[in-house]
Structure 1
Amino acid sequence: MIKLSHTVAAAAFVTVGMFGGAAFADSGSDVARVVVNESRSQVTVVGEGSLSSPPDVMRLNTGVEVRRASASQAFADARDAAARLTKALLKAGVDAKDLRTNELSLGPEYDTYPKVSGYRAAQGVEAVVRNVESADRVIEAAVAVGEEVRLNGVSFEVSDSRKLLRAAREVAFKDARSRAEQYAKLSGRELGQVVTITEENVTPPRPVAYGAGLVAEKASISPGQQTVSVSVRVVYGLG
């Protein structure tokens, strides 16, 4: 379940039908502008909504790495270790469709070039953990496979970011209307119908990444919070 918290901010622009001239008012972070226009009475407000939610998906970037005297042995041992890692991740609750190979490499290593000292083989595995509460168990299962395992970091994300964005739009629109009502009252007018709505400055939630060192040192994985924000420009008529 996504838990939401929000903050709001806005700027407003007011166009009121009057009798000549223009006035400007300084209201700190919010700016109100009254423009004289006998043919059109409108108020334009920019509302902003920001919502936060704890991520519910973790991406574990792991894999195996071996060094052997021959290329064939290095490759064979890396494949074997990768198979054991995959089996451990499946047993820890990761679905087969949420596992993918993201690296496969084999190459020589040198003491002094061009003298080959051995061969390094690696195979990377990305695991999508859809139950963040099981993150520690999945990581521990991977590490238990053996010394060939490498942890290359984790990232967290919100699975249904569109739901979060829709909720942020509601916050922004409600804030815009509240501002418009205030400016209509201050100008002695009645707030009319919406003339135009423009969505702008959408900031979707971005995956939060942690390095391998943090993964290894923390006893418990903490996904933190992700935030999505959106601003909406709404023009209302004034009666």
Structure 2
Amino acid sequence: MVRNTSSNPPSTYVSNMRTALLLFATLLLTAHARTINVVGEGTSNLPPDQVTLEAGVTTTAKSAVTALTDNNRKFVRLVAVVKEKGIADKDVQTSSFDVFQDFRGRGDSRMRVYTVSNQVTIKVRDVAMVGEILDALVRAGSNEIYGITFGLQDSQMGKDTARKLAVADAARKAELFAKSAGVKVGKVLAISETAIAGGSDNGATLPNGEFAARETLSVSPGELDVEVIVYVLYELVE
């Protein structure tokens, strides 16, 4: 079995660390000044410009060699079709390969079978081509398509827009709280953020040839939400 895994730390851990650091800074600063800690939220909406999907071939036969040979033939064709559509080598990566045995039937008709599954991760950098590529994959023999995920090749612009909105939201809240308390908002003493990029996932297992006679598949990309949450510490003045 071959698997690709990521070693990135969980986002909740990073978020908790940031919050802890801000709290520590707050404790230090409040020893010398009256302060208010405000949370601001900002969201920008962007159309996705790339799609990542998992596709593959699963074959079953009475012998492992037959299942493997059949799978390899179909998988080679699948990868070739993807590259014919203009997908670069760097955007096609094997994500898993499994061989396992099972038993079918009951009693005297019970027999051993072998199943081979070969999966590949494909990154499509032109969203308009997704439907065409999905159709080509199925026609090439792919009977498994998982996790169609829309994303952004560069989310920096969306994050910057969301940051501005989040800071403005924090300032609005700080002014509201301060006015209600009969004080004024002073300078910013500390600021930190948490960014959340939204996406969408869909998955399907397709029986062999089910869509072979259909028209090109239709995919709706919609929009992605890029959300930023800021924690701002303000000084309070009379």
TM-score in same-fold range (> 0.5):
yes
| RMSD (CA atoms) | 3.2
Deviation string for 1:44-102 (max 9, x for gaps)?
54322122222222111110122223211211111111110000011112111111111
Structure 1 residue 230: Cα displacement: 1.1
Q: Return 222-231 or 93-102, whichever deviates more.
A: 222-231
- Partner residue, 1:210: 202
Please, which of 39, 42, 50 is the counterpart of residue 43 of structure 2? 50
Displacement of 1:229 in angstroms is 3.0
Residues 188/73 of structure 1: CA separation in 2 closer, same or farther (3 Å cut): closer
**CA–CA separation in structure 1 for the residues paired with 2:228 and 2:166:** 9
> Could you give the per-residue CA deviations for residues 135-190 of structure 1, whole angstroms, max 9, x where no partner exists?
111111111113x5322341122222344333222111123334445666778877
Q: In 1, distance between residues paired with 2:182 and 2:58?
A: 73
Structure 1 distance, partners of 2:54, 2:37, is: 47
Partner of 2:162: 168
Asked if the contact 1:154/1:212 (under 8 Å) is kept, the reply is no
Residue 3 of structure 2 corresponds to: none
Unaligned stretches of 5+ in structure 1? 1-38
User: Percent of aligned positions with the same letter in both sequences?
Assistant: 27
Structure ranking higher in strand proportion: 1
Cα distance in 2 for partners of 1:224, 1:181 equals: 36
Structure 1 counterpart SS, 2:144: strand
- Rounded to whole Å, the distance in 1 between the matches of 2:63 and 2:140 is 23
Give, as a single letter, the amino acid of the residue that structure 2 aligns with 1:73: T
State which of 139, 154, 173 in structure 1 corresponds to 2:134. 139
What does 1:53-202 correspond to in 2, within 5 Å? 53-111=46-104, 112=106, 115-146=110-141, 149-180=143-174, 192-194=186-188, 196-200=189-193, 202=194
Taking a change above 3 Å as real, the CA distance of residues 125 and 213 of structure 1, as seen in their structure-2 partners, is closer
Relative distance call for 1:68 and 1:183 in structure 2 (3 A) is closer
* One-letter amino acid of the structure 2 residue matched with residue 152 of structure 1: Y
Q: Which residue of 2 aligns with 1:229?
A: 228
RCO comparison, higher one (Cα < 8 Å, 6+) = 2
Paired with 1:118 and 1:41, the residues of 2 have a C-alpha distance of 73
Q: Which contiguous aligned blocks of 4+ residues in structure 1 show a shift greater than 6 angstroms?
A: 183-190
Q: Tell me how many residue pairs correspond in the alignment.
A: 197
Cα gap change, 1:113 to 1:222, in 2 (>3 Å):
farther
Distance 1:82 1:48, change over 3 A: same
Q: Structure 1 length as normaliser, TM-score?
A: 0.68
Contact 2:39 2:229 (8 Å CA) reproduced: no
* Unaligned 5+ runs, structure 2: 1-31
Q: CA deviation at 1:224?
A: 2.6
